[in-house]
Amino acid sequence: MRLSSHTAIGVAATALALALAGCGSEASGGGGSTVTLRLGFLPTLPQAPALIGIKNGVFAQDLGANVTLKTQTFNAGPAEITALIAGSLDAAFVGPSPAITAFVKSKGAALRIVAGATSGGAGLVVRNDENIASPEQLRGKTLATPQLGNTQDVALRTYLRAHGLTTDPQGGGDVKVVPTDNPTTLQLFKQKQLDGAWVPEPFLSRLILEDGGALVVDEATLWPAGKFPSTVLVVSTSFLADHPDEVKALVQGDLDAIAILDGQAADAKVAVNDQLEVLTQKKLSTAVLDAAWGRLTFTPDPLAASAQKSADDAKAAGLLAGDVQLKGLFDLRILNDLLRSRSEPAVDSAGLGQN
């Protein structure tokens, strides 16, 4: 079993002042300068806007010839955000929890959420032979999440706490939560070394359809109107300050990618599946792809109203300490300008940033 180490976000945030002084993409001086934009993402279906944006050349086209796009994949959000804070990334498609944690620990200096990407597509699957009929029956079980402090990890710990079950970051408590990368989770689940896992798509549907799992909790049922952000687009504050035009082009690419996913769904599913095969060496079956796709909503709205609850949940799980202040987390001015130019409604920052 390959276990993720405790997220290094706190350590990286401590050194943030040094990173901000020298990080960010290099640009050549003078007219016609070039910029390198380093973009992180995860090879999961909730990151379909990133997958289609890269696969179909949407980002490259919107960024233009003077921007070199370099991409890097990660297993889970905390590692991705650590790379961004350390200056190895300029922007990232990531779950909201690691972004919120980095923002809080850096006292707002690390990053801004500039757009949404996807809502939905996560939940808790257990083995059918466990016959779990109530949360209390999870006591004593071993459950996996992609990484300590990632969005699914916080969601699982919050669900367990709401039903009187304790966890801790070291894997103790009433339920043992084991950070495990998603492909390894599939193997351990099949080998009956895990009782269940709270994972994003397509791993949720794969556990059900390929490994005989049972869906115990669809996370959408835990949020108002079934809406919760599973992927947002974040940018380092230094890159946003130094390269606003490139950030605008990246957000434009996000909007264009979402438009393809919504307007050309059949072709988009094929393209996303092809990109997943390139990244993971495995193409999803039609049954898995269709099931997973049905749990996802692609939207540029980062659903800012959910952020405070996410932060409070992380604090209650022992993953955040002190005063949790989120003012300034969102900078949606570029997004809303682009939405208005497309005659689409602006999105709300819920008082946590600039619209």
Please write the tens of the pLDDT for every residue from 163-214: 999 999 999 999 999 999 999 999 999 999 999 999 999 999 999 999 999 9
Instruction: Fill in the DSSP letter of residue 114.
Output: E
Is residue 37 over pLDDT 80? yes
Q: Using an 8 Å Cβ cutoff, are 180 and 146 in contact?
A: yes
Whether pTM exceeds 0.85: yes
What is the pLDDT averaged over residues 5-14? 44
Cis bond upstream, residue 202 (ω within 30):
yes
Token reading at 34: 């070039």
Q: pLDDT digits over 94-151, tens only? A: 999 999 999 999 999 999 999 999 999 999 999 999 889 899 999 999 999 999 999 9
Which residue shows structure tokens 């007219």? 31
Residue type, 157: R
Give the DSSP letter string of 188-245.
HHHTTS-SEEEEETTHHHHHHHTT-EEEEEEGGGGSGGG--EEEEEEEEHHHHHH-HH
Q: Please give the torsion angle defined by the CA atoms of residues 186, 76, 299 and 108, in that order, rounded to the nearest 10 degrees.
A: 160
Per-residue pLDDT reduced to its tens digit, 39-91: 999 999 999 999 999 999 999 999 999 999 999 999 989 999 999 999 999 99
Determine which helix (DSSP H) or strand (DSSP E) holds 279, and give its type and residue range: helix 265-280
Q: How far apart are CA 63 and CA 61, in angstroms?
A: 6
